[in-house]
Amino acid sequence: MNSSFNKFLIFRKWIIIIVIFIFSTNFLFIQNVNALSDSRQFVLDAWTLVNEGYYDPERLDEIQWKRLRQKTLQKQIETSNEAYSAIEDMLKPLEDPFTRVLRPKDYQLLKSSNFGSEINGVGLQLGEDEATKQIKVISTLAGSPAEEAGIISGDFINTVDGISSEDLGLANTASKLRGASGTKVLVQISSSTGEIREIDLERRSVELRPVRTKRLRDDSHTIGYLRITQFSESVPKKIEEALQELKDKEVEGLILDLRNNSGGLVSSGIAVADSFLSEKPIVETKDRNGIKDAIISQKNTFFDGPMVTLVNKGTASASEILAGSLQDNQRSTLMGEQTYGKGLIQSLKSLGEDSGIAITVASYLTPKGNNIQGRGITPDKILDLPEAREYGNAEDKWVKNAEIFLNSLFDENKTEESSNELVIQDVKN
C-alpha cells in the first residue's frame, strides 16, 4: 500500500514538474513571439503601404509582391536593424531607387531638408543612372563641402569609405555620406569622362537658403535674378515676397535660375508655377488607377513680365515640373542643357521608431503630355558654355547670355511700339 502510494506521489510530482515546464516554456515563447511581432509588424506595415500606394500595380504583380511578403516574414526578424534590412531586401525587386525605407537618421534629415533651414553632411543630392544603375550626383548644395571640392552634376560615386556604392545601393550610399559636423568621409568619384579621384570631405552644417534674389542693371535695362536651390515648404511664400520686392524695384524681366535644383516638395514646385501662370495647366499626374489629374494655375499671378529660365543636368523632379510648365505654356524661354529626367512623384510615410518610407505614388507629364522620366527636358536654347563656380556672380556666362536675350526682347518690343506709333501718326495725317 505504502509502495503504491509512494509511486503515486512520485508520479504526481513528475506531472507537476512537466506542467510547470510546459507553462514556463509557453510563457517564454509568448514573450518572444510578442517581441518578434513588433519587428514583423513593422515589416508588414511597410509592405502594406507599398501595396496600397505604389503607382504601378502591374510591377507589383510582376515581382510577385504577395509572395515576397510571405518570404520576408519567414526570415529572422528580431531587431529594428533586421527589420530595416528585411524591408530593403523586399523592395529591391521593384528596381525603383526612389521607393526606399528611411532609417531614423535619414528620415529626420529628409524632413529637415524639406521643412528646416540647415542640414549636416557633405551636400550631395544623389540619384541612380537609368542605364548603368550607378549612383550619380544630381546636384550639389550651394556652399557645401561637395561643391567646394569641385564635385559636379553627372559625376559618379564609386566608393564611400572604401565600400562600393554598388553594394551599398542608393539609400545606404546617401546615408553613409551623412553624419555629425566635423567628421570626415572618403569618397571616390569618377567623372563622365572616366577620370577617377579620391576626395576627403569633412561634414558640416550647410545652411539651406532655397531662395536668392538680386537686381541686375545696365545702362538701359533692369532685370531681376531669382535663384531657387530646392523646393522646401517655405519656398512658395519666399518666392511671393521676392517677386514683390523685384516688382518694387521696377524690373523689366526676370531670370529664373533652376540649375542644380534637385527638387524637393512637388507641392511647392506647383505653387511656384502658380505664381507665373494665369489659368494655365501646370502638370498632369497619373496615379496607380491610370487616372490623370491636370492641375491648373489660378488667375492671379505675382509676375507676368518676360522671363528666361536656366536649367542644367542637375535640374530634377519638382524643378522640372516648374520648367516644363513654363516652357509648354510659352511663358518662359528655357536656356541651358538637358535636365535630369525624374518624372516620378514620391509620398513620404511614417513608420515606427521615427523612421519612414518613401513610395513612388504617381508619374507626371508636362502640360503638352511629355513624359520626362529618364529623358529630361530639352531647353529652347542650348548653352555650350562652362558653368560658373558660383551661380549668379559677375563671371556667370549663363546669366550673361540670359541678360542679352532679355535685352533683345526689350529692344524688339520697343521697336514694335515705335512702329505702331508711326502707323498711328500716319493714319492721323
Active site residue 317: yes
How many Å apart are CA 205 and CA 203, to the nearest integer?
Answer: 7
Q: How far is residue 224 CA from its own chain's centroid?
A: 27
Q: Which amino acid is residue 243, in one-letter code? A: L
Under DSSP, the state recorded for 390 is S
Q: Which amino acid is residue 352, in one-letter code? A: G
How many Å apart are CA 63 and CA 80, to the nearest integer?
Answer: 25
* Residue in the block written with cell 502638370: 283
Instruction: Give the DSSP H/E element, type plus range, for residue 4.
Output: helix 2-53
203 and 122 Cβ atoms separated by less than 8 Å: yes
Beta-carbon contacts of 16 under 8 Å, excluding residues fewer than 6 positions away, are: none
225 and 216 Cβ atoms separated by less than 8 Å: yes
117 and 207 Cβ atoms separated by less than 8 Å: yes
DSSP E strands: which ranges in 106-195?
Answer: 118-121, 124-128, 135-140, 156-160, 163-164, 184-190
Catalytic residue among 342, 355, 363, 396: 342
Catalytic residue among 113, 317, 325, 355: 317
Q: What is the largest CA-CA distance in the chain?
A: 145
* Residue in the block written with cell 524639406: 114
Three-class SS state of 291: coil
How many Å apart are CA 64 and CA 127, to the nearest integer?
Answer: 26
398 and 385 Cβ atoms separated by less than 8 Å: yes
Active site residue 328: yes
Catalytic residue among 144, 328, 332, 396: 328
Distances (CA, A) of 157 to 92, 119, 315: 20, 20, 19
* Residue in the block written with cell 559625376: 155
DSSP E strands: which ranges in 378-429?
Answer: 381-382
CA R_g for the chain: 29
Among all residues, which ones are annotated catalytic?
317, 328, 342
